[in-house]
A and B are shown apart, each in its own frame.
Chain A
Amino acid sequence: MKKITYFLILLLLLFNFFWIYKCSIFKDKISEITESYKQEIEHIEINKNNLEKLISNCYIRNIPKHDLENIFFYNDDVVVLLVSQGQCHSCIIEILIYLEQLGNKIGSDRILILGNFINNKDFEIFENDASPFIINVSKYFNKELPKEVIDHPTIFIMNRNFEIRYLFIPELYPELSETYFFKLLPDFFKN
Chain B
Amino acid sequence: MEVVDSFLIIKQSQGVSLFSIFSLPDCKHICDFGKKGHGPGEFIYSFDFCPLYCEKSGFVVSNKLISLNYYQIEDLINEKFMPYKVIYLPPKLNRFREITAIGDSLIFGASYGGNMEMFKFNNISNTLECFREFPDNYPEMSNEHKTNLYAYFLASKPDNTQFVRVYESQGKIEVFNLNSNKTIIIKYKNFPSLEENLHLDNSSRDLRYFTNQKIFCWGIQATNKYIYLRVYNDNYTNIVGDDDLLRTFIPDIHVFDWNGNPIAKIKISEYFDYYCVDLNDDYIFTCDGYYSDIICRYRITNYLKQ
Identify the A interface with B (CB < 8 A). Answer: 90, 93-95, 97-98, 100-101, 104, 131-133, 174, 177-178, 181
Query: Smallest Cβ distance from B154 to chain A, in angstroms?
Result: 22
CA–CA, A131 to B37, complex, Å? 10
Given known A-B contacts A90-B144, A132-B38, A132-B44, A101 and B88 have beta carbons under 8 A apart = yes
Identify the B interface with A (CB < 8 A). Answer: 38, 44-45, 64-66, 88, 90-92, 94-95, 112-113, 144
CA–CA, A34 to B95, complex, Å? 37
Q: Are A100 and B113 interface neighbours, CB within 8 A?
A: no
Query: Smallest Cβ distance from B201 to chain A, in angstroms?
Result: 22
Q: Are B64 and A132 interface neighbours, CB within 8 A?
A: yes
CA–CA, A133 to B254, complex, Å? 41
- Residues on B with beta carbons closer than 8 Å to the beta carbon of A178: 90, 92
A97 — nearest CB in chain B belongs to which residue? B91
Q: Are A94 and B64 interface neighbours, CB within 8 A?
A: no
- Contact residue among A101, A131, A132 (Cβ-Cβ distance under 8 Å from B91): A101
Given known A-B contacts A97-B65, A100-B64, A181 and B38 have beta carbons under 8 A apart = no
- Residues on B with beta carbons closer than 8 Å to the beta carbon of A98: 91
- Contact residue among B38, B65, B66, B112 (Cβ-Cβ distance under 8 Å from A131): B38
Q: Are A97 and B38 interface neighbours, CB within 8 A?
A: no
Summarize A's interface: helix, strand, loop or mixed. helix
Summarize B's interface: helix, strand, loop or mixed. loop
- Residues on A with beta carbons closer than 8 Å to the beta carbon of B144: 90
Given known A-B contacts A131-B38, A132-B44, A132-B45, A93 and B65 have beta carbons under 8 A apart = yes
Query: Smallest Cβ distance from B59 to chain A, in angstroms?
Result: 21
CA–CA, A174 to B94, complex, Å? 12
Query: Smallest Cβ distance from B106 to chain A, in angstroms?
Result: 21
- Residues on A with beta carbons closer than 8 Å to the beta carbon of B44: 132
Q: Are B91 and A94 interface neighbours, CB within 8 A?
A: yes
- Residues on A with beta carbons closer than 8 Å to the beta carbon of B92: 94, 174, 177-178
Query: Smallest Cβ distance from A127 to chain B, in angstroms?
Result: 13
CA–CA, A99 to B90, complex, Å? 12
B63 — nearest CB in chain A belongs to which residue? A132
- Residues on A with beta carbons closer than 8 Å to the beta carbon of B64: 97, 100, 132-133
- Residues on A with beta carbons closer than 8 Å to the beta carbon of B38: 131-132
B90 — nearest CB in chain A belongs to which residue? A178
Q: Are B95 and A93 interface neighbours, CB within 8 A?
A: yes
Q: Are B90 and A94 interface neighbours, CB within 8 A?
A: no
27 contacts between A and B (CB under 8 A): A90-B94, A90-B112, A90-B113, A90-B144, A93-B65, A93-B95, A94-B91, A94-B92, A94-B113, A95-B91, A97-B64, A97-B66, A97-B94, A98-B91, A100-B64, A101-B88, A101-B91, A104-B88, A131-B38, A132-B38, A132-B44, A133-B64, A174-B92, A177-B91, A177-B92, A178-B90, A181-B91
- Residues on B with beta carbons closer than 8 Å to the beta carbon of A104: 88
CA–CA, A78 to B46, complex, Å? 29
Q: Are A93 and B90 interface neighbours, CB within 8 A?
A: no
Query: Smallest Cβ distance from A11 to chain B, in angstroms?
Result: 43
Query: Smallest Cβ distance from B19 to chain A, in angstroms?
Result: 19
A100 — nearest CB in chain B belongs to which residue? B64
B115 — nearest CB in chain A belongs to which residue? A174
